């Protein structure tokens, strides 16, 4: 676990992705953003491309990225943007995406995700779908692109996790809910803990010039909530009686939610930093036990032994 002072930046929780990258020139840099056709993924793509990066949107439906591609093609100085098919729950799709990538990769933003599937759903391999999509698919993708990341000489992996990780450590005995009762939020929290642990274990790639950090984007209304019913949304206080979405005062816009993603992806303030967890554009404090104060990163998600164990588990699962 990192024992250095928490890293701070001049950007607060209200900063947007564009503000974080103001003055940063990414011309010649190449980036992949999974789930980049919607929500904070779109804002991440927009900020990186506007700063000059060449961005590939990896999405299940490349056609959904066409409006964003057209928009950015008209922005002076913006890097080229394209979309390629990627289904993180399908290892054949991950393999195809990685095999067709040519040349170095400077930035990999593991942004795509699903949340709180109401019933237990598994992939063809028997993997619980949230763990498969949020963690195992991204783990497979990063591994398959490792040589391309190493080729860049100074590459960054950015993993979009969630504060929900605090609720559920990774269950090595039954990660896919084959025996324990399935709970949508426990499954989601576990997948997000796994994402943070992945960045801790990725310290093994530091000698290849690859850093990896995780983040919570904060509360934002996006398509991520598509599996939640109206009663749940009302219970959260973000939907009125007529079914209109009503963000709470502490909710962010997608552009603000993407700020920490692009901070980790491209800001010179993060050069050489790896294995850490950020929120609101700052490194998060460590939370132990059942502390009720919001925010922070759970100690179980930064445990280097659990991280190494998870790496080996995931590597075995992919064989």
Q: Which of the residues are catalytic? A: 188
CA atoms of 11 and 282, how far apart (whole Å): 8
The sign of the torsion formed by the CA atoms of 81, 84, 90, 93 equals: negative
For the chain, the C-alpha Rg in angstroms (whole number) is 18
CA atoms of 185 and 227, how far apart (whole Å): 12
Q: Which residues contact 178 (CB under 8 A, 6 or more apart)?
A: 126
């Amino acid at each position: 676990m990192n024992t250095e002072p928490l890293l701070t930046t001049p950007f607060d929780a209200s900063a947007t992705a564009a503000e974080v990258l103001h003055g940063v020139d990414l011309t010649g840099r190449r980036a992949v953003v999974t789930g980049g056709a919607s929500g904070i993924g779109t804002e991440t793509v927009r900020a990186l491309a506007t700063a000059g990066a060449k961005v590939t949107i990896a999405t299940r439906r490349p056609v959904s990225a066409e409006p964003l591609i057209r928009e950015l093609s008209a922005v002076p100085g913006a890097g080229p943007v394209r979309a390629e098919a990627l289904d993180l729950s399908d290892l054949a799709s991950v393999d195809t995406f990685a095999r067709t990538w040519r040349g170095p990769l400077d930035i990999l933003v593991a942004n795509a995700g699903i949340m709180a599937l109401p019933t237990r759903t598994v992939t063809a391999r028997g993997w619980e779908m949230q763990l498969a999509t949020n963690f195992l698919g991204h783990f497979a993708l990063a591994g398959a692109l490792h040589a391309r990341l190493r080729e860049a000489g100074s590459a960054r992996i950015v993993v979009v996790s969630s504060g929900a990780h605090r609720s559920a450590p990774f269950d090595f005995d039954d990660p896919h809910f084959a025996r324990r009762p399935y709970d949508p939020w426990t499954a989601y929290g576990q997948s997000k803990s796994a994402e943070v642990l992945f960045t801790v274990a990725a310290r093994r790639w530091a000698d290849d010039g690859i850093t990896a950090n995780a983040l919570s984007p904060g509360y934002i209304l996006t398509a991520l909530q598509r599996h939640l019913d109206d009663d749940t949304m009302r219970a959260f206080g973000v939907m009125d009686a007529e079914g209109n979405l009503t963000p709470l005062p502490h909710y962010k816009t997608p552009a603000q939610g993407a700020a920490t993603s692009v901070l980790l992806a491209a800001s010179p303030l993060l050069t050489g930093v790896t294995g850490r967890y950020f929120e609101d554009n700052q490194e998060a404090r460590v939370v132990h036990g059942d502390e009720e104060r919001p925010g922070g990163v759970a100690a179980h998600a930064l445990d280097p032994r659990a991280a190494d164990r998870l790496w080996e588990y995931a590597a075995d699962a992919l064989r």
